[in-house]
């Protein structure tokens, strides 16, 4: 079920006026429901759409039928974000208080649903943290897929197909939304590797959320699926978010 922009204000569970989230219902057997995921209204702006949906199916450039299914199940998290808008779809409960040093692996899949040649900055993965560094009680750590290099991102980025991004593989680039006192770089403007960033705040803990986010740069039309944090995979399906331990 999709909640449209016009009805969003009238329905419970929508976290901010103009933001869209899908109603979650029990999913298929074999995975646990993970019902603590949704639009984070305080980190979103404008009228973006974050919708649990079926598909999309990918295709190679010369094929007519779209035959490549989402990487897990049959659905995904669809994102429609206009230029200047921002959406954060995340979990504000399950990772709270986890030491940053325990985050060893982050992976997810992206489907970019616009034509080749259209500029698109891809959805990122973010963690709000208490850095435990004097003078920096709060910051957001952001994986930057567009600034990263292979094998963290695909050697050739393509549109209309599902591609895997490994935010902790060699070539990854991360930035802190706020400068770290006494540290040069590791910012969104001058990113560094995840290991470097963690070394600058060895006592940091995840505080308010982990999330898939997009904005406030250019527009994006596409989807995300199969977010894996350490050995826990979150499968975005139309019926809800499903958690699998791998």
pLDDT tens column, 173-202? 999 999 999 888 899 999 999 999 999 999
Q: The dihedral of CA 26, 27, 28, 29: what is its sign?
A: negative
Residue with the larger pLDDT of the pair 221 and 14 = 221
Please give the share of the chain, as a percent, with pLDDT higher than 90: 71
- pTM (2 decimals)? 0.85
Tokens of 194: 């995840």
Residue pair 119/218 in contact by the 8 Å Cβ criterion: yes
> Is the pLDDT assigned to residue 30 strictly greater than 70?
no
Place of tokens 């910012």: 187
The residue length of the chain stands at 246
Tokens of 146: 């567009």
Rounded to whole angstroms, how far apart are CA atoms 173 and 190?
9
Across all residues in the chain, what is the average pLDDT?
A: 86
Tokens of 107: 């992976």
Report which of 39, 38, 37, 109 is spatially closest to residue 72, judged by C-alpha positions: 109
């Amino acid at each position: 079920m999709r909640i449209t922009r016009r009805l969003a204000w009238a329905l419970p569970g929508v976290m901010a006026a103009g933001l869209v989230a899908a109603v979650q219902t029990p999913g298929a057997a074999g995975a646990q429901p993970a019902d603590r995921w949704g639009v984070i209204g305080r980190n979103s702006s404008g009228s973006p759409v974050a919708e649990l949906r079926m598909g999309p199916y990918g295709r190679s450039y010369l094929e007519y039928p779209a035959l490549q299914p989402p990487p897990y199940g049959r659905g995904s998290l669809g994102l429609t974000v206009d230029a200047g808008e921002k959406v954060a779809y995340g979990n504000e409960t399950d990772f709270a208080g986890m030491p940053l040093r325990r985050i060893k692996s982050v992976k997810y899949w992206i489907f970019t649903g616009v034509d080749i040649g259209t500029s698109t900055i891809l959805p990122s993965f973010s963690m709000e943290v208490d850095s435990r560094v004097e003078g920096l009680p709060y910051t957001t750590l952001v994986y930057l897929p567009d600034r990263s290099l292979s094998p963290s991102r695909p050697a050739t980025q393509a549109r209309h197909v599902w591609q895997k991004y490994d935010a902790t593989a060699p070539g990854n680039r991360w930035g802190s939304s706020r400068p770290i006192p006494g540290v040069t770089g590791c910012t969104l403007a001058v990113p560094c590797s995840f290991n470097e960033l963690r070394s600058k705040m060895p006592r940091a803990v995840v505080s308010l959320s982990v999330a898939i986010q997009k904005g406030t740069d250019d527009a994006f039309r596409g989807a995300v699926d199969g977010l894996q944090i350490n050995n826990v995979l979150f499968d975005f399906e139309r019926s809800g978010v499903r958690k699998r331990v791998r």
